[in-house]
A and B are shown apart, each in its own frame.
Chain A
Amino acid sequence: MKNITLTLLISILLFSCGEPLPTELIEVTNTSEVEFEAVPPGSANLDYDSTGIVDRNIDKSIVVSVVGVRNTNFRTVQTEGYYYAIFNDKSNPVQTANGHMLGYKTLQMNSVFFNNFQARKIDYKLKYKIGSVYLDTLLGVKYFASQRMMNMMGRMNNFPYAGRVNFRVVSGPGRNIEFDIPTPSEIIGRVRLIGNRNASDEYFDLEWNSEGRGRVEIVFATINQNGEVNPLMKVKGNDNGNMKVPFKVFKNIIDKDNRSLVVSFARKIENTDKFTDDSYIVSESIHNIRIDLP
């Protein structure tokens, strides 16, 4: 009996080298579906004040963007609206010295109207960063209107959130483009830094007025004394009004020189199939909040 027992024991011992298998679970929580994304440097338009932060290089022929912006800077709040359209000449790409795609040369139209307000033709410059140097380049023209301009002309006091903006392009006889761009409801956010830095459980508590459906994007950027903004990271989540981002994500970023962040809440409606496939139409509500870290 003894021998049988010992033999069985030893043989099983030799075969049981496995570890208990882990059970895979899927998280069920209401703070879900958050996506972190690094914002590649050298993104277009680092002009914080004027157009909000729009990153992506839009590889389309027609780019139309209507953005309602709210800026919270220390204790002041400013609202603005920016409307622009760019007509890229895709046969004319523009790159940085090191081959990084900046955009395309633009085409000119006769006239562009946002809500029947004629947009002005302005230089379309892109500010970009190479190394630690900020440079800009002229790509062409941008058709631009702002809420202030409209107000001065006696029109439209505020950006039409949760409504629509009419867009009309006159490019030549028989070559008009017109459509309505739906706008999202205004997003108003709040940023709090909660927690104990020493216990490394500090987090940014981000709150905003939620739609209950759809997604929001929140972008974190640093801002220097010159007002130059460097977007770093985008966090996408459900439009449920709340998100927590652990402070330690920025551990490597925040130092004694870089103590100011801009947190931008953005609610977008993107329409790429409005006109042709080769167009990018976006309407956004952006709330930029500048915070200075203690």
Chain B
Amino acid sequence: MNGLEGNISNFSNTKDFELMASFSFQNENRFNSNLYSLSISKAFGNHNFYFRYSPGIAQNFIIKRSTTIQLPDTVANLKTEINYSEKFGTSYSYKFSSGVNLGLSLRYFEQTFREESPILFYTDSVNYISIKEEELSDNFWRGDLGFDFILNDILSISLSTINLFISKEDNSSEASRLYSLKTEKGIHASFQLKSNNKFMTKFGYEYGFDKYKAFYAGLNYSFNLAGGIITAGTLLAHDRFRQPYISSVIPSISFTKDGYTISAGGIIYALNNTSKTTESLVNDGIYSLFNNPYSTDRAFVNFNLALSFKSKQFVKFIDVSIDSDVYPTLSEIYLNKPFATGRVVNISNEIVEVRPASFINGINNELIYSPVVKILPGDTVDVSFFTTISNIEVDKRKIEQADFYLYTDKSEPDDYIQKPVLIHDKNSWDGNVFNLIYFVRKDFEFTNKYSREILNKYPRESTADVFRKIKILYDEFSHSLEYVSDPRSSTESVQFPHETIELKGGDCDDLSVCFSSMLESIGIQTAFVDYKNLGGVSHVNLLVNTELTPSELFKITNNDNKVVVRKNEKGIDQIWLPIETTVLSGFKDAWTAGADKFNSEAIEKLGLSKGTVIIIDIY
């Protein structure tokens, strides 16, 4: 029915912790309820440990002896009190496979005999007899082995020993000799037949090598109700020492749901007027505290609580693919464009909201969360992972591990996967002209200082307007630099402005970035012009905003071919100058070259409308 009594081999299906509590109720002379047993088991993989504290597996006798004592007022019968109890038990089992389980159990029994005997006292004036109580204990351990074989879906067999190992000392006290629990060795065998998941029959036989013989047979029926399973059944039992042949009926009913089970049952004896003499106790003895000639009707209520601290997994990674390498300088692109996409499946039967999170070693300072994705049960969806760059100073290109997590409503993530990500160095560029903006902005502190230093060399009036600032700055900028065609393809790396100034040169990206940063850092608006060349190397130069309206065109040039008119956000036309930053002979030449290229590629060849020339504003 529960615990070790019927489960020597500790066969269990729990995955983690299971707590079991059992209560027994009797109503012999008066109603009595008590905690029968409390047990806990824990599974570690294929190992299972079980411990039971069983205050209720006990039986007490008070034997009214025929020996009496004449006391002053009364005649008192001497008593012998016997307490039997199985205090606790423990077992260990190992599942060799899904079909074979081996277990070992140890149970600790306490027997206490309290015998009253007369003792004579005499003094000068008085002789009297008094009652002395003497207590003897005779405790022992009982060890057994058990095996379970699950042959298939239908049949399973169990074999276990009875009293294989007993630790009792030979006790020569008379009470012990007369009344000790019987520890006759024997074998218990049972089999279970399941049919169509609803019916199950069970048959067991206990064979003691000396006198004890018993068997039981039963039938169970299971069906689903309210999301759980109800199992109802009955067992009939026979043992040699109790009349009639089928001495007890054990009905039971249980309800299991989500790992919790409540069950109730009872043992109903056919004949309940158990002997009230010691005859059976002395002649036959007691073989089992659970069922013996002195047992009376009992009801049980059991609770099984499977407490799994391994919480249920709702979602799972199928895989994660890294969509792009990480360019540390392009710090904000990963806010809008995911760097990785996870393929995630919802393995539960509920709608789950997943919070993806990632951590890239060396790039992130903390876990970065991405937007929540709702997944229907059973669905597989793509989940985007975004990130931000906390650490730009990556000097060398490297491969880092990125951790990907799926969080649901628990504090622990449901799933985790690690993937390598290529982290480029800080100068690396993905070739997207739009992303040059990051190189421009990162160095504002330097370029601002640099630009101011240059401008401060001139009198105030000559640097009052934007056009003149542009001219002065470009002249200074270009005169100290050289155009270098990048030995690696120019789409791979971009220098920060301070690097371009220090290195005294760079390619078209480097120079555009540098000059743009110099202007932007002091508040002059610029834009990149990306000239895409099919099959060739694309080229970048700048447009700079003079903030002049077209009607002021005459102030700076006679030739309207040299300017580009752009509406600003407020819808007002402004004059922008195309600057070819690789022309380092001075502002005039750079402006002329820039205008030529713009007119030819963007206007004449309809580059703007065809998309081969793109203007990228720096925001």
Contacts and interface: CB of A to CB of B under 8 A. Distances in A.
15 contacts: A5-B262, A9-B21, A23-B60, A23-B274, A26-B64, A29-B282, A33-B67, A34-B66, A37-B69, A199-B172, A246-B117, A249-B117, A251-B119, A252-B121, A253-B120
Contacts of B152: none
A38 B70 contact: yes
Given A25-B63, A246-B117, A250-B120, A35 B70 contact: yes
Interface string A229-258: 010110000000000001011111100000
A199 B122 CA distance: 24
Contacts of B24: 20
B120 A34 contact: no
A16 B277 contact: no
Interface of B: 21, 23-24, 26, 28-30, 32-35, 56, 58-70, 75, 80-81, 117-122, 124-129, 132, 172-174, 227-228, 257-258, 260-262, 274-279, 281-282, 294, 301, 303, 305
Given A8-B303, A23-B294, A16 B23 contact: yes
A13 interface: yes
A75 B393 CA distance: 118
Contact of B34 (A19, A27, A39): A19
Given A21-B28, A37-B70, A132 B35 contact: no
Interface in A164-190: none
Given A32-B66, A252-B120, A16 B33 contact: yes
A36 interface: yes
Per DSSP, chain B at the interface is: strand
Contacts of A36: 67-70, 118, 129
Contacts of A152: none
Contact of B305 (A6, A15, A38, A131): A6
Nearest to A252: B121
Interface in A123-143: 129-132
A18 B34 CA distance: 5
Nearest to B228: A1
Contacts of B276: 23-26
B117 A40 contact: no
Contacts of A251: 119
A179 B288 CA distance: 63
Given A27-B278, A36-B70, A38-B129, A131 B260 contact: no
Given A8-B262, A16-B23, A246-B117, A25 B34 contact: no
| Residue of B34, B122, B303 with highest tally of chain A CB at under 10 A | B122
Interface of A: 1-2, 4-6, 8-9, 12-13, 15-29, 31-41, 129-132, 199, 201, 220, 230, 232-233, 246, 248-253
A197 to B, nearest CB: 14
B120 A12 contact: no
A38 B120 contact: yes
Nearest to A233: B120
Contact of B127 (A20, A132, A232): A232
A129 B132 CA distance: 27
A141 B589 CA distance: 168
Contacts of A29: 66, 278, 282
| Residue of A9, A37, A38, A233 with highest tally of chain B CB at under 10 A | A38
Contacts of A250: 120
Contact of A2 (B68, B117, B127, B260): B260
B266 to A, nearest CB: 15
B127 A233 contact: yes
Contacts of A8: 262, 303
B27 to A, nearest CB: 10
A28 B60 contact: no
Report the 3 A-B pairs with minimum CB-CB distance, sorted nearest first. Answer: A32-B66, A22-B60, A37-B70
B437 to A, nearest CB: 55
Nearest to B274: A23
Given A36-B129, A37-B129, A132-B124, A5 B305 contact: yes
A246 B275 CA distance: 29
Given A16-B34, A25-B64, 14 more contacts: A1-B257, A1-B258, A1-B260, A8-B262, A13-B35, A20-B24, A20-B58, A25-B62, A27-B63, A28-B277, A38-B120, A131-B124, A199-B172, A232-B127
A27 B64 contact: yes
Contacts of A16: 23, 33-35
B120 to A, nearest CB: 5
Given A5-B262, A37-B129, A232-B122, A25 B59 contact: no
A81 to B, nearest CB: 29
Nearest to B298: A20
Contact of B119 (A28, A129, A220, A249): A249
A34 B305 contact: no
Contacts of B60: 20-23
A37 B76 CA distance: 11
Contact of A20 (B34, B118, B174): B34
A51 B68 CA distance: 28
Nearest to B178: A29
A34 B121 contact: no
Contact of A41 (B23, B28, B126, B227): B126
Given A36-B69, A36-B118, A253-B120, A26 B277 contact: yes
Nearest to A203: B174
Given A1-B258, A22-B61, A249-B118, A17 B67 contact: no
A20 B129 contact: no
B118 A28 contact: no
Contacts of B119: 248-249, 251-252
A11 to B, nearest CB: 11
A201 B59 CA distance: 26
A206 B96 CA distance: 64
A41 B127 contact: yes
Contacts of A130: 124-125
Contacts of B294: 23, 25
B411 to A, nearest CB: 19
A1 B125 CA distance: 73
| Residue of A9, A129, A131, A232 with highest tally of chain B CB at under 10 A | A9
Contacts of B262: 4-5, 8
Given A16-B33, A249-B120, A27 B65 contact: yes
A221 B120 CA distance: 11
Given A5-B262, A23-B61, A35-B70, A233 B34 contact: no
Contacts of B174: 201
| Residue of B32, B34, B127, B274 with highest tally of chain A CB at under 10 A | B127
A238 B262 CA distance: 56
